[in-house]
């Protein structure tokens, strides 16, 4: 074999292993030509601040801030806040309406005090009761409905003034109509501190009427049971005595009928 042929075979054998590999696999570059894109860690989303005024448009939020800071707020801004169901704005608007001293506007003041009470401004209840207790005022039926709903909400939350106010209004049956069943449920709930004592007084009022109906006697008995359960120590004893007397009379009446 000639030297030329030997050199040709050697060159061919040396090149064979490299022919099956692509240049990319043959030599792995230290720095890749196209480095992978670096992915930045996702930024934590900022939490939206939530508060009593978060539902308001920005302009009304600014009005509310000025109101809380004791700065001047126009009547229109107050009304916009109140109509947007902002409790503070509604209360301040109702106060401003009352300061005008016009009895015809009392129903509007009641309306906005009711909004305030419904929006957890329990201090509005006292002002509502002042209006509801004035027989000379002409109050809108829709405003009365809203006022009752606000008082009931405050009563469920344990507002004593709301409980006592509802008991008085329901017992009178003057403002909200005949609400005897609601009155009994309210008294039996035990929410107010004076429920038992009030129930006793209502029972005595019913029993003092000699011409009372059997239904009124039954209602008085239920009131006495509430007083016996929720009243003060003295009222519990008095209610127990009256219940015993009513039961004795009932037994005597039953015996007379059977004879």
pLDDT tens readout for residues 95-154: 999 999 999 999 999 999 999 999 999 999 999 999 999 999 999 999 999 999 999 999
Question: What span, in angstroms and rounded, lies between the C-alpha atoms of 175 and 148?
Answer: 9
Three-class SS of residue 112?
A: helix
The model carries a pTM of 0.66
Whether 187 is in a domain gets the answer no
* pLDDT bracket for residue 164 (50, 70, 90): confident
Per residue in 166-199, pLDDT (tens digit) is: 988 988 888 998 887 888 888 888 766 678 888 8
Whether 191 is in a domain gets the answer no
Three-class SS of residue 103?
A: helix
Predicted pLDDT at 259 = 53
Q: Which residue has the higher pLDDT, 248 or 46?
A: 248
Lowest-pLDDT range of 33-47, 76-90, 103-117, 189-203: 33-47
Predicted pLDDT at 143 = 97
Burial of 116 (0-12, 13-18, 19+ CB in 10 A): buried
Predicted pLDDT at 125 = 97
Whether 60 is in a domain gets the answer yes
Q: Give the chain's domain count.
A: 1
Q: Which residue has the higher pLDDT, 253 or 159?
A: 159
Predicted pLDDT at 198 = 85
Structural domain boundaries, residue 82: 56-159
Whether 4 is in a domain gets the answer no
Predicted pLDDT at 151 = 95
Whether 146 is in a domain gets the answer yes
Whether 140 is in a domain gets the answer yes
Please provide the average confidence, as pLDDT, over all residues in the chain.
80
Q: Determine the average pLDDT of the residues in 33-58.
A: 59
pLDDT above 50 for 19? no
Per residue in 225-247, pLDDT (tens digit) is: 999 988 888 888 999 999 999 98
**What does DSSP assign to residue 105?**
G
Whether 228 is in a domain gets the answer no
Q: Return all residues near 112 (Cβ < 8 A) that are at least 6 apart.
A: 82, 90, 91, 93, 94, 97
Handedness of CA 88, 176, 194, 126 (dihedral sign): positive
Q: Determine the average pLDDT of the residues in 26-30.
A: 40
Give the chain's end-to-end CA distance (angstroms, integer): 152
pLDDT above 50 for 94? yes
Predicted pLDDT at 239 = 92
Whether 48 is in a domain gets the answer no
Predicted pLDDT at 179 = 85
Predicted pLDDT at 89 = 92
């Amino acid at each position: 074999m000639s030297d030329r042929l030997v050199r040709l075979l050697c060159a061919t054998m040396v090149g064979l292993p490299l022919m099956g590999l692509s240049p990319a696999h043959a030599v792995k570059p230290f720095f890749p030509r196209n480095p992978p894109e670096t992915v930045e860690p996702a930024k934590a989303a900022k939490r939206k601040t939530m508060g009593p005024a978060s539902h308001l448009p920005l302009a009304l939020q600014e009005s509310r801030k000025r109101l809380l800071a004791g700065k001047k707020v126009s009547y229109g801004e107050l009304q916009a806040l109140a109509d947007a169901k902002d409790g503070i704005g509604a209360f301040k608007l109702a106060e401003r309406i009352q300061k005008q001293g016009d009895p015809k506007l009392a129903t509007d003041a009641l309306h906005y005090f009711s909004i305030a009470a419904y929006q957890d401004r329990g201090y509005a209840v006292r002002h509502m009761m002042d209006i509801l207790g004035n027989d000379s005022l002409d109050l809108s039926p829709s405003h009365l409905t809203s006022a009752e709903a606000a008082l009931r909400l405050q009563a469920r939350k344990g507002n004593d003034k709301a409980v006592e106010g509802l008991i008085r209004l329901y017992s009178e049956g003057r403002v909200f109509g005949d609400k005897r069943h609601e009155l009994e449920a309210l008294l039996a709930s035990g929410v107010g501190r004076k429920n038992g004592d009030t129930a006793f007084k209502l029972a005595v009022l019913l029993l003092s009427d000699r011409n009372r109906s059997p239904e009124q006697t039954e209602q008085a008995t239920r009131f006495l049971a509430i007083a016996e359960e929720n009243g003060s120590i003295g009222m519990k004893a008095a209610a127990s005595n009256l219940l015993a007397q009513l039961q004795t009379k009932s037994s005597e009446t039953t015996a007379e009928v059977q004879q």
